[in-house]
Structure 1
């Protein structure tokens, strides 16, 4: 073993992988519950010991050097083995993943499979009426949330951005269209899930903003309101699956803002099992193809 390897500690690897995962020193410092200057010093200590630069200076968001990307893969493997060894001393071998409506596909399957293979732990998926409440109460360990809203007391890890797809009643004249423009939706009544819906009226420019809003509090209600032609809506592309609802037509949407998909967890709970899930989730997010929808409603994978 080299002298450099002997001087590298788990805290160095944890600090570096957290910064690399979040692509932010600020978010990583919150996850690790240390100050940002202390985190910066820890990463710099690792670079000094290794005598390489792992993170490009002055890049926003954080960017890894070529050496940093190669080292990240190895650091994650080392931490994975360490976390597995620590987890083996505990009876807690379950991670609880919460969601409000339709887990992103294929990301969820990729992330869960990768995590379970790497840790021999089990992911339990739970549909939550109130993601934040269930997370705060410890009912779930981590939740999937679409949208960019800030939630105090929680750490967010950005996974990817999704395209939006228009949803209209199958009996509406719009159902025959090959595509719709985002601004066209703003000219019609808009069905909005006020709890965790990803489409809100303020996302339109003021002159195209919907004037009539039909509200609901969950995805099932949202589907029924669209089916009944009480209004139109938009959903992330991964939700727009074949057979989503026989009375709802899914139409490609042009000019729409994308939907950020994030994982949220409590600031004080970055335990080894959760860290391993975050790694698997980010890795799966980087590898999944981007889904979109054909006019017929058949999903396909965009090249």
Structure 2
């Protein structure tokens, strides 16, 4: 009989608990099964490891000497398995709604091809999340990502205007990009993608109503404190009785990119994910 992991686990459990009864319970074995496993281990190594003459479980000198290496083998194996599982998970960061159906198609294609999984992580600042290793790859919208990142363009999104249901703009068939200088602009200063800098200086909104997250942005627009601009997918993903979405004309498109730390670009799962993301972005031209 060869030495097996079950032998080492039974032996270290017995050493830890000092009792066949407690060790068997911790190992999810019956007491006779644990006893047989210990006897098999002693037969494999050819030396007695447990002193059965004592009223309490005690290791022999050989058993005490063997315990350290047994723990190291199990510890090394457990760490290797944990590391392998970590490396079979990719963490995708995003600060706002993921483009659909691109995101769903990308995840399905990637997980089917690799057997790995994707964890979706909502972050306020994707660049900071990448730098701190909170995520492995992140979705960026709008302006180019900061230095130190490798950026992969995906596609462009259309923008749409958001106004209060009570606003005189709610019944408009469309709003032109050049009109926004007339009204206060509600800006999510943390994760928003449209700011006064999105316009030429002479056409930019003169008043900014700041807020710190998307929920505040929704409620501020719904309260008719100003108008907002978001990616067009919000019109089909967001339901709010106090809000209306109005098509835009003349608005610049919003670039959507994936980015990761340049130093981590050789990780195989990243390449697999980028392949899946590119292929999904090309499917029927759907975002």
TM-score range, shorter chain: 0.5 to 0.7
What residue number does 1:281 align with?
277
Determine whether 1:212 maps to 2:204. no
CA deviation map 1:187-216 (0-9, x unaligned):
110011122311111222233211001112
**Within the alignment, does 1:147 sit opposite 2:142 as a pair?**
yes
Whether the 8 Å CA contact 1:97–1:140 is kept in 2: the answer is yes
Distance 2:209 2:121 in 1: 28
Q: Report the alpha carbon displacement of residue 290 of structure 1 after superposing the two structures with TM.
A: 4.7
Q: Counterparts of 1:128 and 1:150 in 2: how far apart (Å)?
A: 15
- C-alpha distance in structure 2 between counterparts of 1:288 and 1:186, whole Å: 37
Distance 1:197 1:288, change over 3 A: farther
**1:101 matches 2:109:** no
Cα drift, residue 112 of structure 1: 0.6
Q: Check the 8 A contact 1:97/1:125 in 2, yes or no.
A: yes
Q: TM-score, normalised by structure 1?
A: 0.64
Please give the alpha-carbon distance, in whole angstroms, between the structure 2 residues aligned to 1:151 and 1:205: 22
Matches within 5 A, 1:41-60: none
Change (3 A) 1:290 1:212: farther
Report whether the alignment pairs 1:241 with 2:232. Answer: no
- The answer as to 2:121 corresponding to 1:118 is no
Structure 1 contact 214–230 (Cα < 8 Å) conserved: yes
Question: 1: distance between equivalents of 2:203 and 2:244?
Answer: 23
What is the Cα deviation at residue 288 of structure 1? 4.9
Using the size of structure 2 for normalisation, the TM-score is 0.67
Q: What RMSD over aligned residues (CA atoms) do the two structures have, in Å?
A: 1.6
Aligned to 2:263, the other structure's residue is in SS state coil
Residue 282 of structure 1 and its aligned partner are, at CA, apart by 1.1
Alpha-carbon distance in structure 2 between the residues aligned to 1:264 and 1:242: 24
Question: Alpha-carbon deviation of 1:111?
Answer: 0.6
The more displaced of 118-127 and 243-252 is 243-252
Structure 2: distance between partners of 1:244 and 1:106: 18
Equivalent-residue separation in structure 1 for 2:95 and 2:276 (angstroms): 21
Distance 1:141 1:150, change over 3 A: closer
1:259 is aligned to 254
Kept in 2, the 8 Å contact 1:106–1:288? The answer is no
Unmatched runs of 5 consecutive residues or more in structure 1: 1-88, 292-303
Q: Distance in 2 between matches of 1:256 and 1:266?
A: 31
Q: Number of aligned pairs?
A: 203
Q: Is there any run of 5+ residues in structure 2 with no aligned partner, and where?
A: 1-82
